[in-house]
Each structure stands twice: as structure tokens, then as C-alpha cells.
Structure 1
């Protein structure tokens, strides 16, 4: 199964550009307010604080683009940001039989995927992916696919 929200890259880029423009316009309005008009008083700080809060919220949600591929004998996860230099992109590929368990954590407005895989050196390794920008259907499909792999792995380990 393949799952990707890469087709929404232009939407996320537009939102990012809009937020940056909003911050720039707010900063310009703040300086005009302070130097020239002085109508709002102390509330003029909201002209900068509100767009800055929205930008921080946008980036705290995590990497926007998530790709998953379970075709073949390997699982492939990719997670990257719309702006490539902000965060290092994640890319992991491992055989399906190494997947032990997974967990989706749903915090207030953030979603995280924790994958536990078997490792020769340490026993187990935990991989973390940010999936906040997946739709409910995409998230349900991801859970279904990962459950299927985990179930198959448990059945194989019992038969051995």
C-alpha cells in the first residue's frame, strides 16, 4: 500500500507564504502604528504576535509531507518539511519482518507515529514520524496497513 500527501505540497507552501506575508505586513503596520498613528496603544503588539503565533503553530505541527510504502518486502517511511532547510528530512526503509509494533499518539493538534523495530545491536529501535497533516482516511489506511504487517509478523513468530 502506498500513502502520500505529497500532492498537497502546493497548499502547504501557500499557507507558509501567506503566514510569512502576514507577519511582514503585521510588522510594517506595527512600526507605522508606533511611529506615525499611535491609535491602538499597547494592542499594536498583536499585529506582530498573532502572525508569529500562527507561524509557530504551523511549524510545531511538524513536517508536512509524509509518505509510506509497504509494497514488496520492505516498509519505507519518508517525512519532510515544505521548506527543506528548516528540518532534516527523515527517510527509513527496513524489512517488514522487523516491525514489532506501532503507536499513533494524538495530542491536542499534533499527531505522531512511533514505530518499534527489532535491531541486532540494541534489541529494539523506536522511529518517530510527524503525521499531523494526514487526513482521517489516510490515518485509518496507515493504521490498517501497519496492523496487517504486525499481525503477519506475530503469526510467523508463533509458527516458528
Structure 2
């Protein structure tokens, strides 16, 4: 199964540009308010604080683009930001039989996917992906696909 929200890259880029423009306009309006108009008083700080808060919310929510591919004998996960220099993109590929378990954590508006895989020397590795920008349907499809792989792996380990 393939899952990707890469087609929404232009939407996320537009939102990013819009938020930066709001911050620039708010900063300009703040300095204009402080030097010339003086109508708002201390509330003029909201002209900078609100856009800055929205930008922080947008980036703290995590990497916007998530891609998943379970076709073949390997699982491939990719997670990247719309602005490439902001965060290092994540890309992991491993055989399906190494997947031990997964967990989706939801905290307020943020969603994270934690994947536990087996490694050499009988150790486990936990991989973390930010999936806040997936829709409910995409999230459900991802869970179904990963559950299927985990179930298959458990059945194979019991039969050994």
C-alpha cells in the first residue's frame, strides 16, 4: 500500500508564505502604531504575537509531508518539511519482518507515529515520524496496513 500527502505540498507552502506575510505586515503595523498612530496602546503587541504564535504552531506540529510504501518485501517511510533547510528529512527502509509494533500518539493537535523494529544482536530500535498533517482516512489506512504487517509477523514467529 502506498500512502502520501505529497500532493498537498503547494497548500502547505502557501500557508507558510501567508503566515510569514502576516508576520511581516504585523511587524510593520506595530512599528507604524508605535511611532505615528498610537491608537491601540499595549494591545499593539498582538500585531506581532498572533502571527508569531501561528508560525510556531505550524512548525511545532511537525514535518508536513509523510510518505509510506509497503509494497514488496520492505517498508519505506519518508517524512520531510516543506522548507528543506528547516529540518533534516527522515527516510527509513527496512524489511517487513523487522517490524515488531507501532503506536500512534495524539497530543492535542499533534500526532506522532512510533515504529519499533528489531535490529542485529536482538535489540530494538524506535523510529519516530510526525503525522499531524494526515487526514483521518489516511491515518486509518496507515494503521490497517501496519496492523496487517504486525499480525503477519506474529503469525510467522509463532509457527517457527
Interval of TM-score (by shorter of Structure 1 and Structure 2): over 0.9
The offset of 1:58, in angstroms, is: 0.2
User: Distance in 2 between the 1:54 and 1:106 partners?
Assistant: 20
Structure 2 residue aligned with 1:77: 77
Q: In angstroms, what is the RMSD of aligned CA positions?
A: 0.6
The offset of 1:121, in angstroms, is: 4.2
SS in 2 for 1:133: coil
Runs (5+) with no aligned partner, structure 1 = none
Runs (5+) with no aligned partner, structure 2 = none
The offset of 1:144, in angstroms, is: 0.0
The offset of 1:71, in angstroms, is: 0.2
Structure 1 residue aligned with 2:132: 132
TM-score by length of 1: 0.99
User: Distance in 2 between the 1:121 and 1:57 partners?
Assistant: 40
Deviating beyond 4 angstroms after TM superposition, the runs of 4 or more aligned structure 1 residues are none
The offset of 1:148, in angstroms, is: 0.1
User: Distance in 2 between the 1:68 and 1:122 partners?
Assistant: 25
* 2:98 aligned with 1:98: yes
SS in 1 for 2:121: coil
User: Distance in 1 between the 2:123 and 2:63 partners?
Assistant: 28
Structure 2 residue aligned with 1:7: 7
User: Distance in 1 between the 2:112 and 2:47 partners?
Assistant: 32
User: Distance in 1 between the 2:152 and 2:135 partners?
Assistant: 26
SS in 2 for 1:121: helix
User: Distance in 2 between the 1:36 and 1:124 partners?
Assistant: 62
1:94-153 deviation per Cα after TM superposition (whole angstroms, max 9, x unaligned):
000000000000110000000000011461000000000000000000000000000000
User: Distance in 1 between the 2:119 and 2:38 partners?
Assistant: 63
User: Distance in 2 between the 1:121 and 1:113 partners?
Assistant: 24
User: Distance in 1 between the 2:51 and 2:89 partners?
Assistant: 26
More deviation in 113-122 or 102-111? 113-122
